[in-house]
């Protein structure tokens, strides 16, 4: 491992990129003019928050909030992402500062660059930044330089704690789903790595950009206070009129919406799920569900495979199936019992099924659902809301669920001689709904490393495994234990 001194010397010798290094080495005041423009633009962007206004109906909206603007450090012209390239080709100006994070962009590198000389200017006071840069150099013994050296090998975006999400007005449904995504290791690897890049995306109201920005905000600071996912809320409103406004929404429906929009935002995605899709989100969230219908008269089997993004499990289904000739009801509702009921044979009512082998005549039949392909992130909904023509009600009560579960028994090959550990899933989050159908509140338990944390909007509380397992869960999120041996 390189020594602290060698790291310090290396950082002193290098610039953010070769183009920036060549500019800062120029004589005749060019370098000082660039530094002056850098600080002036930096302070100007910091002085004016993103433009927002309140519409006549009282809702918050933003002007150009989801897309950054870029200020040329040579001529101070401000432009959108799509105009940046044309400006550089026309004027030969190469350096820009984006309006959100105030980071430096090099057109020749086609990337954002970090330079420790300019960072020192940024960290100084606005009024004396240039004077400090000219008159004072950090000494080897100064406290801030020692701190930088001693932490040089640490990830600057390393999260020291956990952060809640502010409720922006009946947005707890969004907060619990976003917290679930933020604490998923698969999604962290994607969004904090080389996944969706907002600065390269030109799609309007892109959900992928909004989620990527939420990951960056959540992981960019060790501050314990919460933050607001306003970009994601606005993008969701604009993408779905049904979500717009401050009425309560269903967290399960929002999860389905979010996954669909993330899939659409992925480069190279395919709209038709029947042909399969190579994109990251399809491989992560989508599985396949097989429906098999067997004619009771001739034994003909009709199979249909459909994409699935979650499993909706009826906690009262045992009693319903018993009444229709299925399995018996369980006295204690459990997740395994719900899965067994979901994948057990079910007698179809007479006249529902027409058998092609019987000349198209209506026949009695047996239907069975099985999982054809499992996703890496498996969401299971415990259906607590029941709607009929006369009444809508919520089922209260505890439903037992495990910290780990083997999904092989619920697949199309439940008795196959395979490595059963390939089908092991571990609980990552549990979403709870409290209250009535139209006046409830969501909160979520998330796994943080080896610990569990309760997120109730911006309130964050450490909890035990027993607290999680005692929760009246509505949504359960399980992660495939070993991605290397994932079943195909």
363 found inside a domain: yes
| Per-residue pLDDT tens over the stretch 18-54 | 888 888 888 778 888 898 899 888 888 875 444 444 4
184 pLDDT band, cuts 50/70/90, is very high
> If you average pLDDT over residues 332-340, what whole number do you get?
88
Least reliable range by pLDDT among 204-208, 216-220, 379-383: 216-220
The dihedral region occupied by 325, where left means phi > 0, alpha psi between -120 and 50, and beta the remainder, is: left
Is pLDDT above 60 for 1?
no
Task: Say whether both 129 and 196 belong to one domain.
Answer: no
Looking at 265, 296, 315, the residue that finishes a domain is 265
Q: Spell out a b/e string for 323-348, using b for 16 or more CB atoms within 10 Å of the CB, else e.
A: eeebeebeeebebebbbbbbbeebeb
d(CA 274, CA 270): 10
d(CA 210, CA 226): 17
Total domains present in the chain: 3
254 pLDDT band, cuts 50/70/90, is very high
Task: Say whether both 144 and 220 belong to one domain.
Answer: no
389: number of Cβ within 10 Å: 5
Cβ contact 313:405 at 8 Å: no
Task: Say whether both 10 and 140 belong to one domain.
Answer: yes
193 pLDDT band, cuts 50/70/90, is confident
131 pLDDT band, cuts 50/70/90, is very low
Rg (CA), the chain: 28
Task: Say whether both 113 and 22 belong to one domain.
Answer: yes
* The residue count for the chain: 488
Owning domain of residue 72? 4-150
| pLDDT over 70 percentage in the chain | 76
Please list, in sequence order, all residues whose beta carbon lies within 8 angstroms of the beta carbon of residue 130, skipping any fewer than 6 positions away. 32, 35, 36, 39, 121
108 found inside a domain: yes
Task: Say whether both 144 and 187 belong to one domain.
Answer: no
Please list, in sequence order, all residues whose beta carbon lies within 8 angstroms of the beta carbon of residue 189, skipping any fewer than 6 positions away. none
104 found inside a domain: yes
Please list, in sequence order, all residues whose beta carbon lies within 8 angstroms of the beta carbon of residue 484, skipping any fewer than 6 positions away. none
Task: Say whether both 103 and 192 belong to one domain.
Answer: no
Identify the pLDDT of residue 66. Answer: 52
415 found inside a domain: no
């Amino acid at each position: 491992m390189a020594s602290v001194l060698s790291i310090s010397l290396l950082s002193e010798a290098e610039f953010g990129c070769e183009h920036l290094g060549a500019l800062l080495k120029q004589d005749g005041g060019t370098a000082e003019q660039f530094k002056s423009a850098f600080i002036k633009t930096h302070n100007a962007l910091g002085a004016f928050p993103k433009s927002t206004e309140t519409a006549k109906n009282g809702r918050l909206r933003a002007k150009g909030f989801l897309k950054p603007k870029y200020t040329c450090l040579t001529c101070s012209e401000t432009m959108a992402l799509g105009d940046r390239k044309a400006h550089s080709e026309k004027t030969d100006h190469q350096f820009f500062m984006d309006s959100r994070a105030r980071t430096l962009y090099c057109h020749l590198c086609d990337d954002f660059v970090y330079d420790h000389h300019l960072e020192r200017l940024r960290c100084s006071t606005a009024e004396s930044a240039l004077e400090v840069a000219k008159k004072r150099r950090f000494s080897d013994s100064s406290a801030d330089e020692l701190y930088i050296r001693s932490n040089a090998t640490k990830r600057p975006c390393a999260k020291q704690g956990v952060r809640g999400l502010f409720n922006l007005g009946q947005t707890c449904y969004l907060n619990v789903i976003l917290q679930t995504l933020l604490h998923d290791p698969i999604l962290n690897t994607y969004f904090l790595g080389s996944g969706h890049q907002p600065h390269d995306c030109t799609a309007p109201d892109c959900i992928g950009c909004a989620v990527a920005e939420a990951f960056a905000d959540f992981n960019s600071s060790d501050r314990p206070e919460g933050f607001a996912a306003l970009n994601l809320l606005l993008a969701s409103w604009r993408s779905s009129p049904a979500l717009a406004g401050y009425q309560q929404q269903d967290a399960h429906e929002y999860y389905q919406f979010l996954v669909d929009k993330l899939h659409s935002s992925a480069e190279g995605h395919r709209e038709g799920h029947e042909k399969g899709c190579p994109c990251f989100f399809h491989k992560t969230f989508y599985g396949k569900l097989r429906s098999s219908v067997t004619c009771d008269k001739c034994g003909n089997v009709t199979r249909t495979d459909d994409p699935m993004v979650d499993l909706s499990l009826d906690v009262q289904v045992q009693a319903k199936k018993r009444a229709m000739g299925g399995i018996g009801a369980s006295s204690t509702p459990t997740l395994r019992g719900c899965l067994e009921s979901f994948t057990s044979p079910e007698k179809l009512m007479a006249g529902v099924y027409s058998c092609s082998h019987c000349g198209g005549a209506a026949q009695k039949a047996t239907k069975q659902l099985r999982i054809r392909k499992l996703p890496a992130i498996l969401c299971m909904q415990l259906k607590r809301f029941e709607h009929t023509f006369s009444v809508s009600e919520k089922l209260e009560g505890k439903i037992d669920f495990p910290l780990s579960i083997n999904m092989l028994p619920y697949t199309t090959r439940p008795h196959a001689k395979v490595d059963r550990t390939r089908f092991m899933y571990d609980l990552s989050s549990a979403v709870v709904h409290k209250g009535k159908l139209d006046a409830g509140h969501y909160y979520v338990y998330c796994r943080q490393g080896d610990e569990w944390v309760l997120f109730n909007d911006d309130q964050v509380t450490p909890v035990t495994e027993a607290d999680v397992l005692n929760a009246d869960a509505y949504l359960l999120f399980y992660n495939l234990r070993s991605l290397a041996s994932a079943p195909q």
